[in-house]
Amino acid sequence: MSSAREQTRLPPPNSRRNVHSPDFPVPLDPSALIGLVPGQTLRLGSCELCFELASGGMATVYLGVHRGAQGFEKLVAVKRPLPRLCADPDYVDMLADEASVSSDVNHPCVRNVFDLGVAADGSPYLVMEFLVGEPLSSVSHAMAEQPELVQTARHHRIVSRIIAGCCQGMHAVHELTDRSVPREVVHRDLTPHNLFALHDGTVRVTDFGIMRARVRRQRETGQTVLKGKVAYMSPEYLGCKPYDRRSDVWALGVVLWELLTGRRLFRMKREADTFAAVLNAPIPRPSTLCGNVDHRLDNIIDKALARNVDQRYQTAHDMAQDLEAYLAHSGGAGAPEVGAWLRQLLPSSLPKLTALVDATRELTAPRREPPTSVAALVPNGRYAYLRRE
């Protein structure tokens, strides 16, 4: 087959449900997945893309296989900007900044980035760790359907473990230096969509695309442009005042509050009302909404969500330490318990991801004809087997 495979075009993002959609079918149904041009694959450097994992306003993330020497293969997630952004130098610089920060930090709770590449058409892409888990946004949706879980001490311990891991990951990012000079990274988008709980019980902080740092390729303009989701922005950031790593601590406090209570803290129907709520609305202690929340968690929330930054946790590590102290007192929650809780909360998630991985390996296997199992995944020839010469 000719090298034209490099030019294969994917269907438009959002044309089908992605793998993290709540109504994604299990068993796996290829009609819910993005397919490639029949008989071809999409190659980006050493990667071969198969299915869409998620799509947002700036980029789409695909599941693929990275190949190396001697038959080495690794499942990866590949992030590609939307076509309208590929020629935008600011966005390209932003992607390079994200790759730089993510690859420089060495922490198990931060998503790995393996490569920043350029496709044959000149568009950039990131090669990232494939996460076998779910964003906390999916966890929150599942919690809304099982409100009784929020009332259990087990739930409180597990979400505390999850946020403690996210705090430790962000602390490692905040501590990054360049030639001994602090890089002063602020994520600016620590929302449930960018925090993942994995089925092995670990967590990942992801997506540093709109982060701010002391040294970066993308230049900040003199104009005041708020980046991120208002409901998770800190009061000082919304108020256009100086901000630092403590803004990320605030965002983690908001996520913890919402996981403990099963409710949204600041989000309103109108963004202007959300803006006002972040700045001025009273913040109820979780125990006033869920009576069995430990007072230690109330105290952690109070400190994480202090509008006076000098009264807030000064580092994410400090917040993690208090969460660890609470966990030590309450019986703790390890990775196996977190993984079991996630599978109980989202029982279709792991089978869905496992089927997706199996389909990817089948579709990229070096065979000339599809095995029966792949043919079964491709009814009526709609998604042809990806043959290779």
> Active-site residues: which are they?
189
As beta bridge partners, residue 113 has: 128
Q: Is 107 helix (H, G, I), strand (E, B) or coil?
A: coil
Closest C-alpha to 169, from 129, 133, 128, 204:
204
* Cα gap 113→101, rounded to integer Å: 9
As given in the structure block, the two tokens for residue 273 are 């009302």
d(CA 72, CA 62) in angstroms, rounded, equals 20
DSSP 241-287: ----THHHHHHHHHHHHHHHHSS-SS--SSHHHHHHHHHH-----HH
- Residue 97 contacts residue 213 (beta carbons within 8 Å): yes
Question: CA angle, 194 as apex, 192 and 199 as ends, to 5°?
Answer: 85
Bridge-partner residues for 186, per DSSP?
212
Cis (ω within 30 of 0) for the bond into 370? Answer: no
Question: CA 12, CA 15: separation in Å to the nearest integer?
Answer: 6
Close Cβ partners of 374 (under 8 Å, ≥ 6 residues apart): 359, 362, 363, 365, 385
Nearest to 153 by CA among 300, 274, 286, 285: 286
Give the type of residue at 348: S
Q: Read off φ and ψ for residue 116, nearest 5 degrees.
A: -120, 115
Q: In this structure, are residues 386 and 363 in contact, taking their beta carbons and an 8 Å threshold?
A: yes
Given strand 133-135, what is the order of strands in its sheet? 133-135, 195-198, 203-205
End-to-end CA distance of the chain: 6
